[in-house]
């Protein structure tokens, strides 16, 4: 059991939680900047009110916990906390640190009454949304849902950004654009998703609708400073009969 005072609640109050429509899988750091001597802890949660932890993510639902950055960082479960688990990074050295987690894939059947709500929450490609609309009515939309979360933190010195700029190998993720502070690239299977819908949630919980450019980049230069959340959803229809594949990705960072 982790016995040091937990700082996530204080951080959430300082950031000013607000209401957003979607239920996002997040990695919430206890601090975005540490001096190298402090514990580096995070909490995985599903929440509709960034950055407040809301829905418990049990250990048996988590998959592929990993950390990337200078040194040999490892991300481990260190104990339960309110609203979920506590994760801690060990072995990190000075530079940008990236922590990632995913939830085990889940099969979901959405009825006719739920389909408009889900498509309202997740801004997927028009062709994918049209494939859902084309299902025989009354529809039962069969989906395999995969959720991926990432958080970026600074250990002592942020000049080494290489971990933030490299993909971690999950099907859908944001990476920092090389040599461009405040710009991020949305990757699907390692390739940029161009002209694609992206959501940005600020520390007041306001959700802005953005889009990537011709290079898959989204520039946050004019957005509000402070803790922020980037979100994207990718929906892939089946080749024939079968389930749609829905990938949901988040990135939590401090601008």
Which tens digit of pLDDT belongs to each residue from 72-86? 999 999 988 765 789
Question: Quick check: 199 and 123 in contact, CB under 8 A?
Answer: yes
- The whole-number pLDDT of residue 228 equals 94
Residue 184 falls inside a structural domain: yes
Residue 1 falls inside a structural domain: no
pLDDT tops 50 at residue 242: yes
CA 66, 40, 204: angle at the middle one, nearest 5? 95
Q: CA–CA separation, 163 vs 98, rounded Å?
A: 6
Question: Quick check: 232 and 196 in contact, CB under 8 A?
Answer: yes
Report the share of the chain in percent with pLDDT over 70.
90
Question: 13: pLDDT confidence band, cut at 50, 70 and 90?
Answer: very low
Question: 51: pLDDT confidence band, cut at 50, 70 and 90?
Answer: confident
pLDDT tops 90 at residue 37: no
Segment among 12-21, 192-201, 215-224 with least mean pLDDT = 12-21
pLDDT tops 60 at residue 3: no
pLDDT tops 90 at residue 25: yes
Instruction: Output 213 or 206, whichever has higher pLDDT.
Output: 213
If one counts the domains in the chain, the total is 1
Nearest residue to 143 (alpha-carbon basis) of 188, 109, 118: 109
**H or E element: which one contains 205?**
none
Instruction: Give the domain extent around 239.
Output: 8-254
- The whole-number pLDDT of residue 69 equals 96
pLDDT tops 80 at residue 2: no
Question: Quick check: 97 and 68 in contact, CB under 8 A?
Answer: yes
Residue 3 falls inside a structural domain: no
- The whole-number pLDDT of residue 131 equals 96
Residue 180 falls inside a structural domain: yes
Question: 21: pLDDT confidence band, cut at 50, 70 and 90?
Answer: very low
Segment among 49-58, 133-142, 201-210 with least mean pLDDT = 49-58
Q: Which two tokens stand for residue 236?
A: 């892939």
Residue 118 falls inside a structural domain: yes
Question: 108: pLDDT confidence band, cut at 50, 70 and 90?
Answer: very high
Residue 2 falls inside a structural domain: no
Segment among 12-21, 137-146, 178-187 with least mean pLDDT = 12-21
What pTM does this model have?
0.88
């Amino acid at each position: 059991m982790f016995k040091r005072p937990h700082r996530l609640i204080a951080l959430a109050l300082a950031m000013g939680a607000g209401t957003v429509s979607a239920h996002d899988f997040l990695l919430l750091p206890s601090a975005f900047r540490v001096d190298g001597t402090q514990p580096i802890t995070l909490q995985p949660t599903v929440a509709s009110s960034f950055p407040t932890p809301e829905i418990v993510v049990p250990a048996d639902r988590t998959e592929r916990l990993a950390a990337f950055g200078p040194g040999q960082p490892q991300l481990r479960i260190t104990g339960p906390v309110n609203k979920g688990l506590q994760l801690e990074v060990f072995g990190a050295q000075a530079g940008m640190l990236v922590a990632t987690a995913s939830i085990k894939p889940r099969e979901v059947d959405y009825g006719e009454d739920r389909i408009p709500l889900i498509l309202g929450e997740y801004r997927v490609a028009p062709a994918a949304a049209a494939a859902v609309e084309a299902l025989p009515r009354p529809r039962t939309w069969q989906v395999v849902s995969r959720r991926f979360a990432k958080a970026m933190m600074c250990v002592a010195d942020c000049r080494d950004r290489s971990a933030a700029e490299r993909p971690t190998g999950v099907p859908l993720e944001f990476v920092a654009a090389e040599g461009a502070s405040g710009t991020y690239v949305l990757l699907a299977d390692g390739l940029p998703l161009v002209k694609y819908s992206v959501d940005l949630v600020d520390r007041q919980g306001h959700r802005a609708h953005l889009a990537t450019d011709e290079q898959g980049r989204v520039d946050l230069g004019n957005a509000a400073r402070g803790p922020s959340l980037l979100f994207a959803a990718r929906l892939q229809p089946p080749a024939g009969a079968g389930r749609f594949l829905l990938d949901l990705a988040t990135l939590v960072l401090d601008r």
